[in-house]
């Protein structure tokens, strides 16, 4: 652990009334001159997911323009997301000035504090009541910091295998961490998340035998949903398999 350089995380929270949307444009299908009152159909066709998708596309353009390689790390609470970010930061200590971490959490700065111990710049985004990071929060976090030296952006999402699947952030890659301690059904129960992912890290493999979880089966479940998924097996705590993940990320 580097002693000479400790970073303190910046903390970002959502604005009040963040949920404004583009103005709706309807079409009037009713009669043109109502005598007294009438019921009309008004077409809205307003897609609430489109706004986030548009912001995510803007984020990706921004990353491309500034040469920042971005990954979105997802997974349940306790699967090993923060440990993976710590391990990447430690192994890339010689490039730590190029690394920026955005850590998403509902209310605490525990994750960002842990990561900042590795000497990398860290922004804590507290979502307040929300269960996921969205593209707007990422945009806002990026405005809070000088990105001149940044080449690698690691986004650690809120611990949740459900909601973040609905909210792309504009990252180059989506990496999901599952651990054998979550039991044998995590992948089958959350198929959308794995369908959307590029990389799967199966963590805590040193505990697979104790947990009586078949790692081969986990991998088969994931590949069944998403044949293009690239799968790694790790024990981040025991430093098994992490270097292969970093190599694949292209950092």
Partner 1 sequence: MHEFSTAVSIIEAVKRAAKDYGATRVTGITIQIGKLSMLNHDQLLFGLEIAAKDSVAEGAKITIEPLSIKIRCNQCATESVVSQEGALYEVLSSLTCPKCNARDINVIQGRECVVKDIQAVIGDES
- Which residues are near partner 1 by CB under 8 A? 19-21, 23-24, 26, 28, 30, 34-49, 129-132, 162-163, 165-166, 188-189, 191-192, 195, 224-228
Of residues 48 and 67, the one with the C-beta less far from partner 1: 48
150, two tokens = 């940044």
Distance CA 224, CA 231 (A): 12
Min separation Cβ 136 and partner 1, Å: 12
How is the beta sheet containing 69-75 ordered, strand by strand? Answer: 10-12, 121-126, 99-105, 152-156, 69-75, 173-179, 199-203, 230-233
Min separation Cβ 60 and partner 1, Å: 16
Min separation Cβ 196 and partner 1, Å: 9
Of residues 216 and 243, the one with the C-beta less far from partner 1: 216
Distance CA 87, CA 101 (A): 13
Of residues 35 and 67, the one with the C-beta less far from partner 1: 35
Name the nearest CA neighbour of 245 among 213, 203, 209, 215: 203
Distance CA 98, CA 69 (A): 10
Element (H, E) at 249: helix 242-249
Min separation Cβ 159 and partner 1, Å: 13
Min separation Cβ 29 and partner 1, Å: 8
Element (H, E) at 233: strand 230-233
Of residues 1 and 129, the one with the C-beta less far from partner 1: 129
- DSSP designation for 32: S
Min separation Cβ 184 and partner 1, Å: 13
Of residues 184 and 191, the one with the C-beta less far from partner 1: 191
Name the nearest CA neighbour of 24 among 5, 2, 51: 51
Of residues 160 and 234, the one with the C-beta less far from partner 1: 160
């Amino acid at each position: 652990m580097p002693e000479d350089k400790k970073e303190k995380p910046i903390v970002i929270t959502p604005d009040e009334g963040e949920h404004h949307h583009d103005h709706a444009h309807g079409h009037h299908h009713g009669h043109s001159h109502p005598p007294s009152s009438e019921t009309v159909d008004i077409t809205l066709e307003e897609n609430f997911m489109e706004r986030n998708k548009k912001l995510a596309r803007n984020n990706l353009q921004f990353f491309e323009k500034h040469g920042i390689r971005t990954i979105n790390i997802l997974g349940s609470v306790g699967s090993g997301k923060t440990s993976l970010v710590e391990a990447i930061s430690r192994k890339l200590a010689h490039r730590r000035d190029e690394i920026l971490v955005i850590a998403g959490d509902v209310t605490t700065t525990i994750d960002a504090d842990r990561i900042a111990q590795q000497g990398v710049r860290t922004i804590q985004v507290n979502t307040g009541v929300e269960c996921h990071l969205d593209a707007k929060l990422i945009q806002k976090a990026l405005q809070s910091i000088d990105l001149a030296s940044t080449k690698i952006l690691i986004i650690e999402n809120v611990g949740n295998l459900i909601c973040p699947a609905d909210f792309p952030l504009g990252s180059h890659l989506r990496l999901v961490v599952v651990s054998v301690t979550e039991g044998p059904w995590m992948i089958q129960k959350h198929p959308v998340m794995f369908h959307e992912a590029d990389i799967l890290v199966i963590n805590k493999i040193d505990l697979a035998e104790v947990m009586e979880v078949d790692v081969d089966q986990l991998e088969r479940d994931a590949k069944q949903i998403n044949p293009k998924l690239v799968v790694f097996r790790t024990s981040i705590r025991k430093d098994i398999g992490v270097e292969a993940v970093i190599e694949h990320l292209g950092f």
